[in-house]
Structure 1
Amino acid sequence: MWTITYYSEATRQQVARLPAGILASYLRLAAAMQAHGVDLRMPHSRAMGNGLFELRPRGPEGIGRVFYCTQVGHRIVVLHSFVKKARETPEAELRIARKRMKEVQGNG
């Protein structure tokens, strides 16, 4: 069994404020990761390099992204989320997730 934690309470609230359909998709994907681990593949999850991953929840409102990393002891740390408005993931969103991942891993 894997445990999901959040970078901060603000990050947990940010995820909770995703539009209802995207949030429902996120909750299904999160439950799958808690039960079976982080081996989700496209189209549900994608490796972003250096230990950063993105969940790819979808809903009638559009596409969300939830960045996460893993830690020892079957722990998933949710770092950042946003609703995607462009084809490419904005670099600013990736920067936030990478910075938080370094902090969580003790490298920042």
Structure 2
Amino acid sequence: MEIYDRSVAEEIDAWPLDLRSRLLHIVDRIEAHGLDRVGMPLVRHLRGKLWEMRPSGKRLEGRALYVAVEGRRIVILVAFIKKRQTTPGRMIELAEARMKELSR
């Protein structure tokens, strides 16, 4: 697993410990079993090549939008604490813009 840049790492570092632990659990499952063997409620396809990891803590839910590149290489493009029922469109757009930068 890779993190797109420092801002994404700082966002994840600001999450409560239980939420970060759940995110690492999801990453470990993906790395151990492969992307195609891990599904809901841990991960969900958004659109195109964009997916989201869905860690849930005691009081908060996080989202880490990611793309798989070159086999099992995973890059987390955006991370945020969920405040609405749906994933905000601006977060999806930001993740897609970052995904395009990766392919350059």
In structure 1, C-alpha distance between the alignment counterparts of 2:2 and 2:75, rounded to whole Å: 5
Alignment gaps of 5+ in structure 2: none
In structure 1, C-alpha distance between the alignment counterparts of 2:60 and 2:81, rounded to whole Å: 7
Deviation at 1:96, TM superposition (A): 1.1
In structure 2, C-alpha distance between the alignment counterparts of 1:22 and 1:46, rounded to whole Å: 17
Instruction: Indicate the structure with greater strand content.
Output: 1
In structure 2, C-alpha distance between the alignment counterparts of 1:61 and 1:100, rounded to whole Å: 29
Retained in 2: the 8 A contact 1:19–1:61?
no
Letter in 1 for 2:58: P
Letter in 1 for 2:11: Q
Query: May I ask how many residue pairs the two structures share in their alignment?
Result: 103
Identity among equivalent positions (%) equals 32
Instruction: Indicate the structure with greater helix content.
Output: 2
In structure 2, C-alpha distance between the alignment counterparts of 1:37 and 1:57, rounded to whole Å: 18
TM-score, normalised via structure 2 length? 0.91
Q: Match for residue 37 of structure 1?
A: 34
Alignment gaps of 5+ in structure 1: none
CA RMSD of aligned residues (A): 1.2
Deviation at 1:38, TM superposition (A): 1.4
Q: Which runs of 4+ in 1 moved over 3 A?
A: none
